Amino acid sequence: MQDFTYHSHNFSQGITDGKNTCDEMLSKAEEIGFSEIGVSNHFIYHPNIPHDHAMYFNDFDKALDYAKRDIEQTREVASRHKIKVYAGFEVDFFPSKMWRNAFEKMLKEVKPDYVIGSTHSGFNKDETVFRNVWFLGQEAQKDEITKECLRNHWQNIIDCINSGYFAFIAHFDLASNLGVCVESEWNEWKWKVVEAFKQTKTPFEVNTNGIRRCGIPSPDWWIVKELVKADVPTLISDDAHNVDCLGQYFAEAESKLSEFGCKNRFRF
Q: By the criterion CB under 5 A, which residues form the site for Zn ion?
A: 90, 118, 239
| Residue 163 vs 230, nearer CB to Zn ion | 163
CA dist 28 and 15 (Å) reads 22
CB-nearer residue toward Zn ion: 70 or 239: 239
Helices 250-259 and 221-229: crossing angle, nearest 10°?
A: 50
* Strand 130-132 with 121-123, pairing: antiparallel
Cβ closest to Zn ion, residue 51 vs residue 125 = 51
Q: Rg of the chain's alpha carbons, rounded to an integer?
A: 18
Instruction: Find the shortest distance in angstroms from Cβ 209 to Zn ion.
Output: 7
Q: Is 148 exposed, middle or buried (0-12, 13-18, 19+ CB in 10 A)?
A: middle
User: Which residue number, 112 or 263, has a Cβ lying nearer to Zn ion?
Assistant: 112
Q: Tell me the closest approach of the beta carbon of residue 90 to Zn ion, in angstroms.
A: 5
Question: Among 165, 196, 158, 56, which residue's Cα sits nearest to residue 100?
Answer: 165
Q: Where are the beta strands (DSSP E) in 174-233?
A: 204-207
Containing 223, the helix (H) or strand (E) segment is: helix 221-229
Least Cβ distance, residue 60 to Zn ion (angstroms): 21
H helices, E strands: number in the chain: 9, 10
Nearer residue to Zn ion within complex by CB, 42 or 190: 42
**How many angstroms separate the CA atoms of 100 and 118, rounded?**
14
Of 158, 72, 157, 153, give the one whose Cα is nearest residue 109. Answer: 72
The residue length of the chain stands at 268
Q: Which is nearer to Zn ion, 149 or 199 (CB)?
A: 149
Please give the Cα distance from 220 to 225 (Å, whole number).
9
**Backbone φ, ψ for residue 130 (5° rounding):** -125, 145
Nearest approach in angstroms of CB 171 to Zn ion is 6
Which residue number has the CB closest to Zn ion?
239
**Shortest Å, Cβ 55 to Zn ion:** 11
Min CB(195)–Zn ion separation in Å: 23
Residue 43 or 197 having the CB closest to Zn ion:
43
Min CB(253)–Zn ion separation in Å: 16
